[in-house]
Amino acid sequence: MRSGIAGKLARARAELELPAAGVRRWQEWLDDDRLWPDRLVLVHGDVHPGHTLVERRPSSPPALSALLDWANAGIGDPAVDFVDMLYAGGPNVLDRLMDAYRAAGGEVPDGMRSHIMARASFLWVHVALRGLDTGRSAWTEIALRRMGR
């Protein structure tokens, strides 16, 4: 998990022009033991609005009733299941999801929010490398623009 991200960062630094501030931020994230989970859990691996079914109930807030498409499931860092929802709904949705996760028995250690935010920013490195690997130069270009913000 962590070593895989370090490897992707090293490869991206060798093959792409990454923003210096991003590289510093990602290296600090990789080096900060406090931000990384002590244990791995079952993760869906691709939680986003298109893979969620929400039940609307009278006189109650909407509730998650199912997660679809478990093709990317595995044992890993619980933060991975929060990244796409952060992109979909923003920081307020992230905070509500973390509260719900905690209330359902999930472990939310200090620093988890920062860890999720760092994972979210690193997503663009992953997309840029995927663009290189698949010959989709537009993916790489978009990712590099996103990182430059």
> Tens of pLDDT along 75-113?
999 999 999 999 999 999 999 999 999 999 999 999 999
Q: What average pLDDT does the segment 42-52 reach?
A: 93
User: Can you give the residue ranges of every domain in the chain?
Assistant: 1-37+111-149, 39-108
pLDDT over 90, % of the chain:
88
Any idea which residues carry the catalytic annotation?
46
pTM for the model stands at 0.88
Burial of 124 (0-12, 13-18, 19+ CB in 10 A): buried
Helices (H), 1-79: 2-15, 20-31
- 28-35 mean pLDDT: 95
Q: What pLDDT, on the 0 to 100 scale, is given for residue 133?
A: 97
